[in-house]
Structure 1
Amino acid sequence: MPEVLDAPSMAAATEQFISGEHQLFINNMWVDASSNEMLNVINPASGETIATVSAASAEDIDAAVNAARQAFDHGPWRTMGATARAELLLKLADLVAAQGQTFAETEVLCTGMPMATAAAMAPIVARDWLRYYAGWATKISGETLAQDPLPFPGAATESFLMTRKEPVGVAAQIVPWNFPLGMTIMKLGPALAAGCTVVLKPDEHTPLSALLLARLTKEAGFPDGVINIVPGYGHVAGAALAEHPLVDKISFTGSTEVGRKIVDACKGNLKKVTLELGGKSPFIVMPDADLTKAIPMAVMQGYFLQGQNCVCPSRMLVHHSIYDQFIEGVKAGAESLMIGPGLNPETTLGPLVSARQLSRVQSYVDAGKAEGAELISGGAALDRPGHFMPPTLFAGCNREMKIVREEIFGPVLTVTKLATDDIAEVIDYANDTVYGLNGSVWTENIGTAMRISSGVRSGIVGINAHTMSDIHGGLGGYKQSGWGREMGSESLDAYLETKTVIMHY
């Protein structure tokens, strides 16, 4: 069993922010929820309430959407040049960097992620992603197109044909709890670069980093109504956003189950929809794989964010010739992880985000045992305050087991023995899932690598690597892993309309 650590104190600036008042941010103003309802923010490392936040009602969502609509249709944002938008994003990036420690500690306190992860991902990634999208604001352009004369009597023979890229309008964005600040920037950046206005709902478990960001957007000088941050419950605030007739586009990251509900809610005015949903990523280890690289990556990525990440390589498919060696290596790596509160700098595996999530993960572990999977490591929640599940490893798995087919979203890895040398069969096994978000193949044979990476039906496939895409590339899935792409230049397309302009002269 990994060692369990204690938690040190947070910085004074973080404590001051956490203990302050947390209202809704609508039209560049801080306002109470119309219902006066509050939600509690729980520290998953202790189970204690660390803050209370105003919970948006449908009435509050309506106010936020109308503010965004007014800002898009009639405010200065509509006529602001691309360079000015870029400058605002760059200023916001600098402000985020200056608040790096507060952002990092806030992410740790709300999500449970280790401080080493938060310190890199929160201020640094957020800053760099904002700068990336600031650069795109001045690169959005249409085309001048060749045009053939129309073969109709009296048709104009001299004409000019071009396209324009224009913002789609009011964008609603619903952010998950596993990487709150990063997901917020990943959605906010391209929408603002494109010229949209935004109503963003952070998850009810982790609203604080988005509210801290809202303070900085006001300081940076974004006009009234351009950015609205409305924490609230998914079935209330999220549902109201998805259904609102003045919202033109919605971007959602979360479970496939909720994604289906989002699609149904958007039918009313046929909103444009981007969905980044679940995954059950294959981690394919061929007989010639370099296990000195594959095993550490399996441990690092498999238990990254306590397994609460959509690209988690939770479905490990390992060739029979190296199966035992691989399991021994992953077991040793898992048991070397340091469990504890994320604020402890030695922690490498923090708590799950909530008691409910811990119960969900435990139910999957129990199902794995009942179905005959071999429990190699972990398997039971820790008897201590907080929501801690040790890194859990199952061997002897097969494709019919619940723990192999369904997304667990916790620190649980399954290993299946590949008894075949037929690459076509390996690809078939990897594709035997309703998901298609991420995957990887580990081999020293370039031919094998290319055949498998080409055959796996997934939005991302790594060769001797398993990770989320870089900001310059797209993140998105095949099948029930979603619609559209986040990050990269493709993310801008989701917030733009193409208008064709024809002029006869």
Structure 2
Amino acid sequence: MITNFTKSIFINGEWRETGSKGTNEIYNPATIERLTEVANGGKVETVEAITSASEAFPDWSERTGRERSRILYKAYQLMMEDADRLGEILTREQGKPLNEAVGEVKGAANFLLWYAEEASRGYGEWIPSSSKEKRLLVIPQAVGVVGAITPWNFPSSMITRKLAPALAAGCTVVLKPAPETPLSAIEIIKIFERAGMPPGVVNLVTGDAEEIGNALLVDKRVRLITFTGSTEVGKYLMRESAANVKKLSLELGGHAPSIVFEDADIDKATTLVLGSKFRNNGQTCICTNRLYVHESIKTSFTNLLKEKALKMKIGYGMENGVELGPLINRAALEKVGSHVEDAILKGSEIICGGKAWNSNLNGHFYEPTILSNVEDDMKVMNEETFGPVIPIQFFTDEAEVLQKANNTDYGLAAYIFTENTNRAIRVSEKLDYGIVGVNDVFPAVPEAPFGGIKQSGIGKEGGHHGMDEFLEKKFISIGMS
């Protein structure tokens, strides 16, 4: 038990214990034990939070970048100091192993640090005029109130990756975390509060996802929606926001291919593929979903991949040495099982795993699974499995594997493994994805842009590019006499 009751709605600097819709219970996905209950808010609280953010916007946006920077930097320090405790909370509500959870918290803090540094760098332009009678300049200004909708799979880092650039730019925020994982969001808001964030600048509403989301969409005072989640929900947000021509920043689903060429370092490649696929138990938008391995290394690669997968420890993330935690809920477990069943019915071979993992924990566990003899019409090759399943196809021709890798509506991340520099550059340029990792499956860092193309999203998060999403560029033309 984390606590008996958690104040989880934060509006205009004040915490609330209950929402207009009562409370929700939060469960540990590894043990199915009840952790706590949180306020269940809806439209009423969201409208109040938007009003609070709207009223706080003029003062916050007019502060200097240095003033905003000092608060973000203080929040970074507080988050780093408290990383171990925050990691434990994250593991209990989300399920990932503790070392991963602490790593996520520290990564989340690094977004605060990066944008604390970027807050003073919202540069404008002085444009040389074609007329002696004019002076032309462009100034950046904060978009306004931001509605931030974050997912359960990275409940700390997805929050700071959105809030840090928004706050650095001078925007105010209404945050809606995933209903499954509100506790990390609560702790991050407490950190902002301790860091000296003025009332109304950051607001938190937990509860009814659909009702909160709709309230953010229809209110004209919310100028931008930033969302991480499924492509299906992203399309819904695009449709519904059109009525108010609302600005959107969307990080949506992925179906990442990993291509292992014949000259790859097999030991390194197998370790990285496992790291990509089984990090957060496969519940990652940029993890390997399709694995293409050159025919000439088929046997050695598959055998080593299987050997390493079988050594991975499954269990409760708070236990030492655990590398694979639970899936987030029963529906997620059933989805993974259905994808594996579909592959088997269509002729795939199980190299290892292939079933739910039973223990006395009662959680939603699935064995690390590798499938061979995989065909293009199988669900695992077309849909985001979001679980610990690696489907392998073998190839001989570079052009053919590139065609297969690009044959998807998704375009978030892709990976290649090769020791040939020419091939690395050539293939990277031809992969139709927003992010390409070469011998690297962990490309997300605060200092670089993160985002997809095609149906994987709009806009970028991270780097100086991330602040652009929260800034409007105002052109000022001055007539000179």
Same fold (TM over 0.5): yes
Aligned to 1:241: 216
Pick aligned residue for 1:96 from 71, 75, 79:
79
- 1:220 equivalenced with 2:198 (yes/no): no
State the distance in 1 between where 2:78 and 2:441 align.
32
2:293 equivalent to 1:311: no
Q: Cα distance, 1:205 vs. partner?
A: 0.4
Match of 1:136 among 88, 112, 118: 118
SS, match of residue 249 in structure 1 = strand
Question: What amino acid is aligned across from residue 12 of structure 2 in structure 1?
Answer: N
> For 2:365, which of 384, 388, 410 is the aligned residue?
388
1:401-421, Cα deviation, whole Å (9 max, x unpaired): 111111111111110111x33
Cα deviation code 1:355-389 (max 9, x no counterpart): 12111211111111112111111111123311111
- Aligned counterpart for 2:244 among listed residues 256, 269, 283: 269
Tell me the distance in 2 between the aligned counterparts of 1:436 and 1:417.
Answer: 21
Q: Distance in 1 between matches of 2:69 and 2:365?
A: 42
| Match of residue 13 from structure 2 | 28
CA distance in 1, matches of 2:251, 2:19: 31
The alpha-carbon deviation at position 104 of structure 1 amounts to 0.4
d(CA) in 2 for partners of 1:19, 1:116:
26
Q: Which residue of 1 aligns with 2:98?
A: 115
Work out the CA distance in 2 between the residues paired with 1:21 and 1:185.
21
Deviation at 1:27, TM superposition (A): 0.8
- 2:275/2:441 contact within 8 Å kept: no
Q: Which amino acid aligns with 1:413?
A: I
What is the alpha-carbon distance in structure 2 between the residues aligned to residue 359 and residue 243 of structure 1? 34
Q: Larger deviation: 471-480 or 194-203?
A: 471-480
Of the candidates 118, 126, 130, which is equivalent to residue 148 of structure 1? 130
Structure-to-structure mapping, 1:3-42, within 5 angstroms: 18-42=3-27
Picking from 448, 457, 461, the partner of 1:482 is 457
Give the superposed CA RMSD. Answer: 1.3
Counterparts of residues 65-214 of structure 1 (less than 5 Å):
65-73=50-58, 76-122=59-105, 124-149=106-131, 157-214=132-189
Q: Using structure 2 for the length normalisation, give the TM-score.
A: 0.97
SS at 1:462 equivalent: strand
TM-score (norm 1): 0.92
**Partners of 1:88 and 1:25 in 2: CA distance:** 18
User: What is the letter of the counterpart of residue 116 of structure 1?
Assistant: N
What amino acid maps onto 1:392 in structure 2? Answer: T
State the alpha-carbon separation in 1 of the partners of residues 8 and 431 from structure 2: 46
Name the amino acid aligned to 2:394.
Answer: K
Structure 1 unaligned spans of 5+: 1-14, 150-156
Letter in 2 for 1:145: I
In the TM superposition, residue 134 of structure 1 has moved relative to its aligned partner by 0.3
Across the two proteins, how many residue pairs are aligned to each other? 478
In structure 2, what is the Cα distance between the partners aligned to 1:184 and 1:381?
31
Q: Which residue of 2 aligns with 1:9?
A: none
Rounded to whole Å, the distance in 1 between the matches of 2:156 and 2:444 is: 17
Distance 1:356 1:22 in 2: 28
Cα offset, 1:51, TM superposition: 1.0
Per-residue displacement from partner, 1:262-311 (whole Å, max 9, x unpaired)?
11121121110011111111110111111011011111111110000011
Distance 2:61 2:404 in 1: 50
Q: How far 1:398 moved relative to its partner?
A: 2.0
Amino acid across the alignment from 2:123? S
The answer (yes or no) to whether the contact 1:252–1:276 under 8 Å persists in 2 is: yes
Residues 96, 280 of structure 2: 8 Å contact kept? yes
The match for 1:338 among 310, 313, 323 is 313
Query: Alpha-carbon deviation of 1:20?
Result: 4.1
2:45 aligned with 1:60, yes or no?
A: yes
SS at match of 2:102: helix
Task: Tell me the SS of whatever aligns to 2:254.
Answer: coil
How far apart, CA to CA, are the structure 1 residues paired with 2:62 and 2:425?
A: 48
Offset of 1:102 from its aligned partner?
A: 1.7
- Given residue 23 of structure 2, which amino acid in structure 1 is its aligned partner? M
Task: Determine the structure 2 residue equivalent to 1:358.
Answer: 333
Asked if 2 retains the 8 angstrom alpha-carbon contact of 1:18 and 1:106, the reply is no
* DSSP 3-state at the match of 2:137: strand
* Cα-to-partner distance string for 1:116-151 (whole Å, 9 max, x where unaligned): 1112221x21222211100000011101110011xx
2:393 aligned with 1:416, yes or no?
yes
SS in 1 for 2:343: helix
Shift of 1:254: 0.5
Q: Select the residue among 271, 281, 294 that pairs with 2:256.
A: 281
**Alpha-carbon deviation of 1:468?**
3.2
Contact 1:232 1:238 in 2 (8 A): no
Instruction: Name the residue aligned to 1:153.
Output: none
- Is the Cα–Cα contact under 8 Å of residues 116 and 345 in structure 1 kept in the other structure? no
Q: Distance in 1 between matches of 2:154 and 2:381?
A: 24
**Aligned residue number for residue 3 of structure 1:** none
Contact 2:69 2:119 in 1 (8 A): yes
Deviation at residue 36 of structure 1 after TM alignment: 4.0
Deviation at 1:34, TM superposition (A): 4.1
Q: Aligned with 1:322: secondary structure? A: helix
CA contact (8 A) 2:126 2:137 kept: yes
- Which residue type is aligned with residue 138 of structure 1? S
**Within 2, Cα distance between the matches of 1:216 and 1:406?**
37
Report if aligned partners of 1:311, 1:468 keep a CA contact under 8 Å in 2: no
Q: Is the 8 A contact 1:108 1:114 kept in 2?
A: yes
Pair 1:402-2:384 in alignment: no
- CA distance in 1 between counterparts of 2:446 and 2:3 reads 29
Shift of 1:182: 0.6
Secondary structure at the aligned position of 2:227 is classed as strand
Structure 1 residues 79, 444: closer, same or farther in 2, change over 3 A? closer
- Partners of 2:338 and 2:216 lie apart in 1 by 32
Identity %: 37
Report the equivalent of 2:322: 347
Matches of 2:196 and 2:424, distance apart in 1: 49
Equivalent residues of 2:227, 2:251 under 8 A apart: yes
Q: How far did 1:32 drift?
A: 4.0
| 8 A Cα contact 2:179 2:209, kept in partner | yes
**Given the alignment of the two structures, is residue 454 of structure 1 paired with residue 429 of structure 2, yes or no?**
yes
Unpaired segments ≥5 residues, structure 2: none
Superposition deviation, residue 233 in structure 1: 2.9
Mapped contact 1:397–1:417 kept (Cα < 8 A): no
- Quote how far apart the aligned CAs of 1:159 are: 2.4
